[in-house]
C-alpha cells in the first residue's frame, strides 16, 4: 500500500520537498474546490502554487499524487492534534470532549480540503484509495477507543455493539460542517456548532445510560 514517501521527487532535500508540497496542497485545494479534480489541470495547479509545470513535476509524479497528498494532509492534521492531547491530563468526559473538539476544529481549519477529499477520493487508484480509506478507519477507531476508555471509567454506558456506530456518528458530525456549511454558517459560528454537536452527542450517551438503568430495574 502506498504512502507519502512513495510519491516520487527529483529533489532530495526532504525539508524542501515538504515545504513545496504544502504549497502544492494549498493551491490544489483551491483549484479542485473551484473546478473539480477532473477539470483542473496540473498546469493550473502549478500556476496557483507559483511554479512552472516543470518545477511541479520535481515534487510529484502525477496529478493523482496531488490528490493523494491533499487526503493525507487532512488525516495528518487530525492525528497531530490528537497526539498533542495525549500530553493532557484530561480524563473521562473531559477527555472525550477534548478529542471531539480537536477533530471538529481540524475539520473547520481544513474545510475546503475535507470537502475536496470526500468529493474526489473516488478518483484515486486502487492502492491509493485503500490507503486513504484505511486512514479514515483509523480515525473512527480512535473515537471508538476513547469511548471504550470512558466506558471503563464508568462515565458512559455504551454497548460494545453500539460503540463503532457512535464513533462513526462523531466523524459524520464533523464532516457535516463542510458539507452543509453553506447553510450552517448562516446560523452558527464554529464555536457554537462544536458546543451544540458535542452536547447532543453527550445527550445520546446519557440516554443510553438511562435506558440501561431502566432495563436493569
pTM for this prediction: 0.81
Handedness of CA 146, 152, 153, 158 (dihedral sign): positive
Scan for cell 452558527, then name that residue. 188
CATH 3.60.15.10 fits 63-205, yes or no: no
pLDDT band at 216 (very low <50, low <70, confident <90, very high): low
Q: Looking at residue 61, what is its pLDDT?
A: 92
- The residue ranges of every structural domain in the chain are 63-205
126-154 average pLDDT score: 88
DSSP letters spanning 112-135: HHHHHHHHHGGGS-HHHHHHHHHH
> What DSSP designation does 8 have?
-
pLDDT band at 92 (very low <50, low <70, confident <90, very high): confident
Scan for cell 500530553, then name that residue. 87
Over residues 37-63, the pLDDT tens digits come to: 889 999 999 999 999 999 999 999 999
**How far, in Å, are 24, 44, 126, 162, 207 from residue 40 at the CA level?**
13, 7, 21, 41, 47
Amino acid at each position: 500500500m502506498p504512502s507519502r514517501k512513495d510519491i516520487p521527487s527529483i529533489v532530495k532535500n526532504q525539508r524542501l520537498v515538504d515545504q513545496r508540497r504544502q504549497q502544492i496542497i494549498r493551491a490544489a485545494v483551491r483549484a479542485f474546490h473551484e473546478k473539480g479534480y477532473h477539470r483542473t489541470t496540473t498546469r493550473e495547479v502549478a500556476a496557483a502554487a507559483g511554479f512552472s509545470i516543470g518545477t511541479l513535476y520535481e515534487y510529484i509524479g502525477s496529478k493523482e499524487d496531488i490528490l493523494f497528498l491533499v487526503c493525507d494532509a487532512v488525516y495528518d492534521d487530525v492525528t497531530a492534534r490528537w497526539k498533542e492531547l495525549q500530553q493532557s491530563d484530561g480524563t473521562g468526559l473531559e477527555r472525550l470532549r477534548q478529542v471531539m473538539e480537536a477533530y471538529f476544529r481540524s475539520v473547520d481549519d481544513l474545510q475546503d480540503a475535507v470537502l475536496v477529499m470526500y468529493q474526489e477520493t473516488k478518483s484515486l487508484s486502487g492502492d491509493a484509495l485503500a490507503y486513504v480509506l484505511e486512514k479514515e478507519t483509523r480515525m473512527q477507531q480512535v473515537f471508538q477507543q476513547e469511548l471504550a476508555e470512558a466506558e471503563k471509567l464508568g462515565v458512559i454506558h455504551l454497548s460494545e455493539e453500539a460503540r463503532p456506530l457512535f464513533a462513526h456518528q462523531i466523524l459524520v458530525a464533523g464532516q457535516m460542517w463542510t458539507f452543509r456549511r453553506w447553510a450552517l454558517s448562516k446560523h452558527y459560528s464554529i464555536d457554537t456548532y462544536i458546543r451544540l454537536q458535542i452536547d447532543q452527542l453527550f445527550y445520546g450517551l446519557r440516554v443510553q445510560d438511562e435506558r440501561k438503568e431502566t432495563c436493569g430495574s
